[in-house]
Amino acid sequence: MRLVPAAVVVLTSATATAAPIVLDGEVPSGGGDFHYLPFTVPAGTVEIEVRHDDLSSANILDFGVDDPSGWRGWGGDLSEPSIIGLTSASRCYTPGPIAPGEWKVVIGKAKIKESPAKYHVEIDLRTAPTLPVQPRKPYVPTVVEPTARWYAGDFHVHSRESGDARPPIDEVATFAKSRGLDFVELSDHNTVSQVDQIVDAQAKTKVLLIPGYEYTTYAGHANGIGATKWANHRIGDKGANVVDAIKAIRAQGALFSINHPGLDLGDQCIGCAWKHDVPPELIDAVEIETLGYKPVGFLFHGLAMQLWESLLAKGAHVAAIGGSDDHRAGQDLTSSQSAIGSPTTMVFARELSVAAILEGVKNGRTVVKLQDPSDPMIELTTDVAPKGDTVSDEFVVLTAKVTGGGEALRFVKNGTPLPERPMEAGGVFQELVEAPKSGEDRYRAEVLIDGKPRTITSHVFVKYAATGRARPATPLEEKGCGCGYPSDTRSLTVVGSALAVALSASAARRRARRSR
């Protein structure tokens, strides 16, 4: 999410091999959301600097740069000069060979209130670099911890590679560790310039740094969790569409998750609410909580839950995750911003690695603590071993074990809450369910505090399979009780979110824009 105060770019001087290329003009009122300004780069150029100004306090123009092969970086409404060189680049952009030929400054029409919308662009072409060499390396996956367990993390964190964010990656990792987290996803806006900085940053921390980026459009934001390559966010431009972008993200082995889908704040957060209509089977997860269940987060939590449930009702197996959308590593936050870990997503994974975390999410092995890491935890298990996120039998016993407090627990079947049960010593609850003769039923568990969900698991899906076994009596029924901890849990299998047992902005700060 990006909310930034209006600002006018201050053009700076720079040493170049010739006079700057100056491009002045008006953004066309029609023709889609993007406009291109071509310029020619001669052979021998080793560094390019682009300075830009939207010449208005009312309009908002985004800026990026394409080289002859396509995308080279995206600064959004970042007012700093953009510098691209052989071995170094300013934030939001990627270094590499400077191919001679036609390059383009890309302008995105984020918000136009005054027409005509004007721009002023200056471009320097250099034969000698001005940026020092940066320690960038190709991304290589690593295993931080080889243990199978529940890992705590945040799937929506921005570093300074987002044009509207402040902290370097090292600071993100340090703050996440102080919050007790095991992993964070670096979800910078429409850029993968952070990816080749992960190897060096990972060597300094035990917090797993997950590559990815926030796929930010003017009609919705989403995360490519695990993505290392850019997918086209310029919807409607030259045939670009969201379905092809999702497929390109998932083709990398990454997951596609919708961010803060109900956060509809108009010009205060441009494009933050999800408006795209895509096939449900392309969605891997939904951010059911953003901003940590504080006033703004709580206001839009219900809308996010509605989208999640609507996808599930259409037959999609979509995991629940949470993200803070932290842009400042917990520093100087306003009342409408959240620190890393608020909310916290728990993922049951075979190890602490990117592949294992993604596998856990894909299998629905997530639990979302809506407020922060100290919220209660739920482990949802079944007496029949699941395959992925699905259990097949005639009857299934669900067991929810709660630790860390809470006032009540309830199971939720196909989106409908079952009766609440008060929290008692042991914190274990069971539900015997009968598999439907056709289709499937879905179950999750929720811990309630003050009558509201505080911790929510993903789902375990139950399908019918003829096994011939008699209707089982739960261990608790045999004890004549509905809430105590079963004496024998050896047959219970961790199932994944509700399944893997536990399945479980600041308009003053960011230029009335978007969460990004």
- Per-residue pLDDT tens digits for 171-219: 999 999 999 999 999 999 999 999 999 999 999 999 999 999 999 999 9
Is pLDDT above 70 for 383?
yes
C-alpha 512/C-alpha 506 separation (Å) is 8
Q: What is the DSSP letter of 370?
A: S
Please give the distance of CA 237 from its chain centroid, rounded to a whole number.
Answer: 24
Token pair for 248: 């390109």
β-pairing, 452-457 vs 188-189, is: unpaired
- As a whole number, mean pLDDT of residues 111-131 equals 97
Q: Which pLDDT score is estimated for 30?
A: 86
Is pLDDT above 80 for 42?
yes
Three-state secondary structure call for residue 278? coil
DSSP per residue over 394-411, as a string? SEEEEEEEEES--SEEEE
Q: Determine which helix (DSSP H) or strand (DSSP E) holds 435, and give its type and residue range.
A: none
Q: Which pLDDT score is estimated for 425?
A: 79
What's the half-sphere exposure (Cβ side, CA atoms, 13 Å) at 61?
A: 29
Residue-wise pLDDT for 236-281, tens only, equals 999 999 999 999 999 999 999 999 999 988 888 889 999 999 999 9
Is pLDDT above 50 for 27?
yes
C-alpha 129/C-alpha 48 separation (Å) is 9
Is pLDDT above 90 for 6?
no
Spatial contact of 129 and 96, defined as CB atoms under 8 Å apart: no
Is pLDDT above 50 for 485?
no
C-alpha 292/C-alpha 331 separation (Å) is 15
C-alpha 50/C-alpha 97 separation (Å) is 17
C-alpha 151/C-alpha 349 separation (Å) is 7
Residue-wise pLDDT for 60-104, tens only, equals 999 999 999 999 999 999 999 999 999 999 999 999 999 999 999
C-alpha 385/C-alpha 304 separation (Å) is 30
C-alpha 206/C-alpha 353 separation (Å) is 11
Query: pTM score, two decimals?
Result: 0.89
- As a whole number, mean pLDDT of residues 293-319 equals 89
Please report which confidence band the pLDDT of residue 297 belongs to, taking 50, 70 and 90 as the band edges: low
Which domains are seen in the chain, by residue range?
A: 21-126 (2.60.120.380), 143-374 (3.20.20.140), 402-494 (no CATH)
Q: Which pLDDT score is estimated for 481?
A: 39
Residue-wise pLDDT for 414-430, tens only, equals 999 999 999 987 899 99
